[in-house]
Amino acid sequence: MTIISFMTANYVARHIGYNLTEGWMQGQNATLAHFAPTETFAARFEEYVRDIMALGFSALDLWLPILTPDSDPAKIDAARAILKQHNIAVTSLAGSAGSTAAELDAACRLATALGTDVIGGGASFLESDRASAIAILKANRVRLGLENHPEKTPNDLRARIGDGHEGWLGAAVDTGWFGTQGYDAARALEELADVLFYVHLKDVRAVGAHDTCQFGAGVVPIQACVQTLQRIGYMSAISVEHEPEDRDPSDEARASLQLLQGWLQA
């Protein structure tokens, strides 16, 4: 059975009252500040877990601003205990995995501690020292899926992945960003099947912008994406991603989950 997870970056605007007026970094910085104090981390993290479970999810993608790789070990221990208590799995870490060898290694160790072997996003250290980055991934047995943002086509993303990675680099396809770029996301999944590590399933309202929405309300062929994943034998988790700047995504994420469950069962 395919695991469906909730992308915790969906709550990027939560800590500024769903009024994201200054861009993504405004929400990221607010999230970092919210989860920074060790003394309040457990309660705040458990609130997220409970809210996600109430929507019907049993797995989540941990956005790195919530629990940074250099966090107090007490916070990591608290997160592990809460996840175990509620029987909710971490299917990936999401975000930037670091600009130095030490930062990438710490991200890999955090992934292992939380029970996943996938980081979906990027690591600028890969661009500065590719060989060392791949060696760190291999030593930790963690795979890095590069997410498409500016890339307009699967070939552009494949060029970033390159060769000689021994299977430790691959794609974490964000269907919404392919929608923004005007590329058929279902076709992109098929074209990247041999390097596909992870899927951020996302819809957007229009080509040329990145206004995310409930599945089926935008221009991304979400159901066709799911059918493609089934046809190519994709076995990893599917992350439900929807990061509105002006409203709580919870109800729309619940509806998207229900649609996805129905498509997977069809």
Selection from 94, 108, 96 nearest residue 142 by Cα: 108
Q: Give me the mean pLDDT over the 50-61 stretch.
A: 98
Instruction: Please state, in angstroms and as integers, the Cα–Cα distance from residue 17 to each residue in 37, 128, 243, 246, following that order.
Output: 20, 37, 13, 8
Q: CA–CA separation, 64 vs 82, rounded Å? A: 17
pLDDT at 1: 73
* pLDDT, tens digit, 9 for 90 and up, residues 196-222: 999 999 999 999 999 999 999 999 999
* pLDDT, tens digit, 9 for 90 and up, residues 5-48: 999 999 999 999 999 999 999 999 999 999 999 999 999 999 99
Range of the domain at 126: 4-265
Selection from 49, 9, 46, 51 nearest residue 30 by Cα: 9
What are the backbone angles phi and psi of residue 194, rounded to the nearest 5°?
Answer: -75, -15
* pLDDT, tens digit, 9 for 90 and up, residues 106-154: 999 999 999 999 999 999 999 999 999 999 999 999 999 999 999 999 9
Q: Could you tell me which residues come within 8 angstroms of residue 184 by beta carbon, excluding any fewer than 6 positions away?
A: 178, 221
Q: Give me the mean pLDDT over the 166-171 stretch.
A: 97
SS (H, E, C) 185-240: HHHHHHHCHHHEEEEEECEECCCCCCCEECCCCCCCCHHHHHHHHHHCCCCCCEEE
CA 259, 260, 262, 266 torsion: positive or negative? positive
| 59 token code pair | 């797995």
- pLDDT at residue 239 above 90? yes
| 257 token code pair | 């989950």
| 245 token code pair | 């700047």
Q: CA–CA separation, 103 vs 68, rounded Å? A: 10
Q: Give me the mean pLDDT over the 213-234 stretch.
A: 98
* pLDDT, tens digit, 9 for 90 and up, residues 244-258: 999 999 999 999 999
pLDDT at 207: 98
N-to-C CA span, the chain = 13
Selection from 20, 17, 48, 10 nearest residue 214 by Cα: 10
Q: Do 237 and 4 meet the contact criterion of CB atoms below 8 Å apart?
A: yes
* pLDDT, tens digit, 9 for 90 and up, residues 80-101: 999 999 999 999 999 999 999 9
The maximal CA–CA distance of the chain, rounded, in angstroms, is 47
The CA angle 137-25-257, to the nearest 5 degrees, is 70
pTM metric for this prediction: 0.97
Band of pLDDT at residue 266, cut at 50, 70 and 90: confident
What are the backbone angles phi and psi of residue 101, rounded to the nearest 5°?
Answer: -60, -45
164 torsion bin: left (phi>0), alpha (psi -120 to 50), beta (else): left
Could you tell me the CATH number of the domain that includes residue 63?
A: 3.20.20.150
Q: How many domains does the chain have?
A: 1
Q: CA–CA separation, 165 vs 137, rounded Å? A: 10
